[in-house]
Amino acid sequence: MSASQPLIKERAATLGVFLANGFGIGAWAVEVPRIKESLALSDTALGISLFAFALGAIIAMPLAGQLAPRFGSGRATALLGAAFVVALPLPAFAPNMAVLCIVLLALGAANGALDVSMNGHASSIESQWHAPIMSSFHAAWSAGGLLGAATGAMLQKSGVGVSGGLLIPGVVIAVLFAGAALVALRDVGPSRLLNFGPV
């Protein structure tokens, strides 16, 4: 049985979300050495700062599992995508390590929560597609990561500063997220998001 037109649009929009998230992470990754240099961070200080990113994700991911049942996985993904767009450029403007840790905590939280939400939404689409398509979403994320890293490298080669190296990709992913939200992100059935709360 072929998928309905709305479900095809929903899949395309969700592929765009995975692509956008991967693009943002790829762009961020290539800026890490320049942020380290601009703040004169030691390897230890950088490691602590990056741990804040992981800690934000650890804190936010269980909480994100509660959003889809309350708001719907499509709406939750759109909202968390917006949070990711806002948080992505913040590390470029951190004046010191303390502020960097705070903004990386926020970026990690936004990314971790979005990861849970968009995977749950993709799982809902897969359940109605009646075929194993989850790998296509993860492939889109990987492609986005490669494109984001390549874009970041080209921006650096062109002489764009750290702020531009994150703001410009931020604009790109904002357009992708907005397009996905406006075109097709909606609820497509019961979400398979893991429930981290009381049974």
Query: What is the overall mean pLDDT for the chain?
Result: 89
pLDDT value for 190: 45
Residue 175 lies in a domain: yes
pLDDT in tens, 112-158: 999 999 999 899 889 888 889 999 999 999 999 999 999 999 999 99
pLDDT in tens, 32-84: 999 999 999 999 999 999 999 999 999 999 988 888 778 787 888 989 999 99
Under the banding of pLDDT at 50, 70 and 90, the label for residue 184 is low
Going from the C-alpha of 24 to that of each of 1, 30, 130, the distances in angstroms are: 35, 10, 30
Residue 153 lies in a domain: yes
Q: What CATH number has the domain bearing residue 54?
A: 1.20.1250.20
Residue 115 lies in a domain: yes
Q: Does pLDDT of 193 surpass 80? A: no
pLDDT value for 180: 86
Q: Does pLDDT of 188 surpass 60? A: no
Residue 55 lies in a domain: yes
Residue 195 lies in a domain: no
The domain of 143 spans 5-183
Residue 194 lies in a domain: no
Closest by CA position to 53, among listed 12, 108, 6, 103: 108
Lowest mean pLDDT among 20-24, 160-164, 177-181: 177-181
Say if CB 35 and CB 162 are below 8 A apart.
Answer: yes
Q: Does pLDDT of 87 surpass 50? A: yes
Residue 102 lies in a domain: yes
| Average pLDDT over every residue of 149-174 | 96
pLDDT value for 66: 83
pLDDT in tens, 7-24: 888 899 999 999 999 999
* Domain count of the fold of the chain: 1
Residue 190 lies in a domain: no
